[in-house]
Amino acid sequence: MSNKIAISTEQAPSPAGPYSQGIIANGFVFVAGQRPQDPATGLMGDDIREQTRQCIKNIEAILKQAGSSLQHIVRSNVYLSDIANFAAMNEVYGSMMPQPYPTRTTIGTQLRNILVEIEVIEILGDDIKVI
C-alpha cells in the first residue's frame, strides 16, 4: 500500500474540482494541471507569454509547499488551446525551467477560457522536507 500526502497552498489557485494541487507518493510529486490564474487576484494574463509564466509560478508555489523547487522536475505536459502559440510558450518555458530540462509533451487541445495549462512530475531528493 502506498502512502499519499496531499499538497495544498494558497500561493496557487484552488482546485476547480475534486482533486489535489499536488500529491507526494513514492518519492515523487505529482502536480495537477495548473491554469494561468493569479491566486491573489483571480485574474489571468491576456497572452500566451503571461499565461505560461503564471502557470509555472503556480507550479513553483506547489513544489515549494512540497519542500522542493522546479529543479527536480522530470516530466511535464503542456496543453495549448492553439498550437500556433507553441513558439511563444516555448520561449517562456525555456527561460523559467532550469536545465537539464525535463522531458515534455506539448499537446494541442480544447481548453476552457485559457490558452495554456501545465502539469508536472517531480522526483524528490533525499534533502527534501515537506513544509
- Pairing, β 116-123 against β 22-25: unpaired
pLDDT tens, residue by residue, 46-60: 999 999 999 999 999
Q: What cell does 4 get?
A: 499519499
Q: What cell does 78 get?
A: 503542456
Domains of the chain (ranges, CATH numbers): 4-123 (3.30.1330.40)
**pLDDT tens, position by position, for the chain (131 residues)?**
468 999 999 999 999 999 999 999 999 999 999 999 999 999 999 999 999 999 999 999 999 999 999 999 999 999 999 999 999 999 999 999 999 999 999 999 999 999 999 999 999 876 555 55
Q: Do residues 13 and 39 touch, judged by C-beta distance below 8 A?
A: yes
How buried is residue 29: exposed, middle or buried, by Cβ count under 10 Å (0-12/13-18/19+)? buried
How buried is residue 98: exposed, middle or buried, by Cβ count under 10 Å (0-12/13-18/19+)? exposed
> What is the rounded distance in angstroms from the CA atom of residue 70 to the CA atom of residue 96?
9
The reported pTM is 0.93
